[in-house]
Structure 1
Amino acid sequence: MSEAQATNLNYSPSSFSSVKAPIRVGILGFGGLGQAAARVLAPKQEMLWVAVADQKGYAYASEGLSPQQCITTYQAEGSIGYLETGGVLSNNSIADLIQQVGNVDGYFLALPNLPNTFMASVARQFIAAGWQGVLVDAIKRTSAVEQLLGMQAELQAAGITYMTGCGATPGLLTAGAALAAQSYAEIHSVKITFGVGIANWEAYRATVREDIAHLPGYNVEKARAMTDAEIETLLDQTNGLITLENMEHADDVMLELAGICPRDRVTVGGVVDTRNPKKPLSTNVQVTGRTFEGKISTHTFTLGDETSMAANVCGPAFGYLKAGFNLRQRGIYGLLSAAEVMPQFVR
C-alpha cells in the first residue's frame, strides 16, 4: 500500500460531511414546535439559527439568535417581532422575512397546515420572492403532500430543494418503514401507531387542532374554527385523550411513491394525551411482508418512550434539512420525501 493510499484511510469525523461552514437556518412558526426547534438547534455546530417568523412579526440576527431570549420575548409579548434586537412587527411576516433577509440557506416550516392549502401557499411565497435554498416541512395529510407534488416543476425551476413529510410520522417512522421493507420481496402492510404525551395542550395548540381535524365528525375547517374553550370542552369529554384511527397521513403516498407498497396497505393511528407528558402508548411502525423464501414476518421499530414528540419531529427535520442542503449543492432541486432520502445527523 502506498503512502497516498494509507493517507486516504485516515478518516476524521468531519470527512463524512460536505458541510464546511454552518448552514444558516430559519424557523417559520414559533409555537410549541418552533420553540422546541430553536432549542434543538442551540448546541449544533453545523447549523446556525438566524431567522424566525410568527404570525405578527419576524426576527433576524446574522450572528445567530438566542433561543432563550426569543422564547422569553414570544411568551411575554405574543410575538417574536418584539425582540429588542432584530425584531420587526409585521402583518405579512413570512413574505417580509423572505424578502428582507437573503442570507438563509434553509427553513424549517414549523407551521400548522390549517387550512389544508397553507403549506403550498407558503412554498409559493418563496418561489415568488426568487429565494433559493432548502425547505423542510413536517406536514401530515396526504392531500397536503399531493398539492406540493403538483408544484414539482415550479420548485425545480425556482432552484428550491423541498423536503416534505420530514417529522416523526410522516418522517422518521416512514423512513424506518422504507428501510425495514428491504428484507421483503413483497410488503403486505405498514402499520404506524403513535403515542404522544404533552402536559398542556395549549403549548401545542396548532398540532392538537390538526389532530382533532382527523376525528370522526370533524375536518380541517371545523377544527380551525374551534375556539380554545370549545377544544377544552371536547378534551374534558375525553379525559384529555384524542384517539385517532385510519388517519389521512402522508406516509401512504410517500411509501407508494418510493415504490414500497400501494398506499392502501399503509395505516396510521394513535393516541394523544393532552394532560400528561408520559406517552399513553409506545410509538412504533410494523412492517409485514413476504421474504424471497416465502416466509411471512414482521419488523417492528419502536421509539423510546422518553423521546418527546418535539424530539422526534425536530431532530429528523434538521437531519433532512442537512441532507437537502447537500443534495442542493449537487444541483438536485424539486420535491423529495422522507421515504426517498436518508437524513444526515447534525452535529
Structure 2
Amino acid sequence: MSAEQIASPIRVGVLGFGGLGQAAARVLAGKKQMLWVAVADREGYAYVEEGLNPDACIGSYQSRGSVGYLQPSGILSDRSIADLIAQASVDGYFLALPNLPNTFIASVVHQFIESGWQGVLVDAIKRTSAVEQLLELKDTLRQAGITYMTGCGATPGLLTVAAALAAQSYAEIHSVKITFGVGIANWEAYRSTIREDIAHLPGYNVEKARAMTDAEVEALLDRTDGILTLENMEHADDVMLELAGICSRDRVTVGGVVDTRHAKKPLSTNVQITGRTFEGKISTHTFTLGDETSMAANVCGPAFGYLKAATSLHRQGTYGLFTAAEIMPQFVR
C-alpha cells in the first residue's frame, strides 16, 4: 500500500487498555498513517472520530480504572466491546487483550462476526491452542468479510517471521529456537501478560494463573526474586511455522526469562535457525533484537505493521485468516 493509496489515515481501535493497550496508544500517537479513534476496556469504551488523546485516556484508566470515565466521550458499559463495534467507524482493531481464559480471543472474534462488522483484526496471541481455535474460524471470517492477522506480536510475530525469512538459506530446517528476555520495572503495569507467563510454569495452567490474586502473584515473585524462567512454552510460533511450510512444529522451541523488577532485559531476545544448505553444510542464522527495545515496542510495532498490511489485503477483497509467518508487515509512518 503506497502513501498515495492511504491519503486518509487508517482508523484504528484498540481493545484492551492494560500495559500493552496503553503502549499501543503511545505508538499510534506518532503515526500519520493511522488515527487512533476507539478504545475499550472491561468496564467501558471511548470513541472520538477526530482521534483520541492518549494522555487523557491513560489518565482516566489509571486514576479511575476505565476509559469509560473519560470526559466527555467515555461511556461505561458491561458489554463494552459489543457496544463499541456497533457505534464506531473503525477500519481495523488491535486486540491487545489478555487471553485468559484460553478461549477469550476466539469469543471476541465471534462478537465481530455476529455483529456483521467488516474490516481488519490483528492480535498478539501467544498460545498454540488459542491460534488453533482461530484457524477453525478461517472460512467463517472469509465469509464475514474480515481480514484477520494472528500471532503478530514479538513471539509469535517478529521473531517468527525472522525465522521464516532466515529459513530461505536452507534446503531443510533442523531447529528454530526462540529465546526471549523481558524486563519490566513494575509487574503491575502488565498484570495480564505476567499471568499468561505464570501459566507456563511447572505446576500452573491458564485457569490457575487466571484465578491468582495480585497478592498471590506478588508472593510467587517474591519467592523467585521477581524472575520467571520459562522453558518449552506452548507458543504459536510452532504452528505458524508449520502452516508456512518451514518445518514441523516439533522442531520449534520457545523459552525465556522475565524480570518483573527491572526494566533492563535479563538476556538478549533472539531466534536461532539451524538447517542444512543445498551444498550439505549445517549452519545457524541468529537474529537478535536490540536490548534497548522494550517488549511493548517489539509487540506493538509489528502489530500495527501487520494491521497496515491486512488493510491493504482487505481493500483488495482478500478476507480470512493469516499468520505473521505468511504475510510481511508494512512499515507505518
TM-score bucket of the superposed structures, by smaller chain = over 0.9
Gaps of 5+ in 1: 1-13
Give the alignment of 1:45-84 within 5 angstroms.
45-84=32-71
Q: Distance in 1 between matches of 2:72 and 2:270?
A: 43
| Structure 1 residue aligned with 2:113 | 127
Aligned length: 333
SS in 1 for 2:5: coil
What's 1:140 paired with?
126
Match of 2:246 in 1: 260
- Indicate conservation of the 8 Å contact 1:19/1:326, yes or no: no
Runs of 4+ in 1 over 2 A off after TM superposition: 14-20
| Residue aligning to 1:9 | none
> Residue type matched to 2:300 in 1?
C
Partner Cα distance (1:93, 1:328) in 2? 25
Could you give the per-residue CA deviations for residues 121-180 of structure 1, whole angstroms, max 9, x where no partner exists? 000000011000000000100000000000011100000000000000000000000000
What residue in structure 2 maps to residue 324 of structure 1?
Answer: 310
In structure 2, give the amino acid aligned to 1:316.
P
> Residue 90 of structure 1 is aligned with which of 50, 59, 77?
77
Q: Which amino acid aligns with 2:257?
A: V
1:23 corresponds in structure 2 to 10
1:99 is displaced (CA, Å) by 1.2
Amino acid at match of 1:81: G
Residue of structure 1 equivalent to 2:96:
110
What amino acid sits opposite 1:98 in the alignment?
I
* C-alpha contact 1:18 1:326 (8 A) present in aligned 2: no
Q: Give the TM-score normalised by structure 2.
A: 0.99
What code does the residue aligned with 1:224 have?
A: R
Paired AA for residue 23 in structure 1: I
Aligned to 1:99: 86
Structure 1 letter corresponding to 2:307: L
Candidates 281, 291, 294, aligned match of 1:295 = 281
Instruction: Name the CA shift for 1:171/1:73 in 2 (closer, same or farther; >3 Å).
Output: same
Match of 2:148 in 1: 162
> Does 1:286 find its partner at 2:272?
yes
Which residue is 2:178 aligned to?
192
**In structure 2, C-alpha distance between the alignment counterparts of 1:15 and 1:48, rounded to whole Å:** 17
Normalised to the residue count of structure 1, the TM-score between the two structures is 0.95
Q: Deviations over 1:215-265 (max 9, x none)?
A: 010000000000000000000000000000000000000000000000000
Tell whether the 8 Å contact from 1:323 to 1:342 is kept in structure 2 after alignment: yes
| Partner Cα separation in structure 2 for residue 19 and residue 281 of structure 1 | 39
Q: Secondary structure at the match of 2:309?
A: helix
Instruction: From 336, 340, 343, give the equivalent of 2:322.
Output: 336
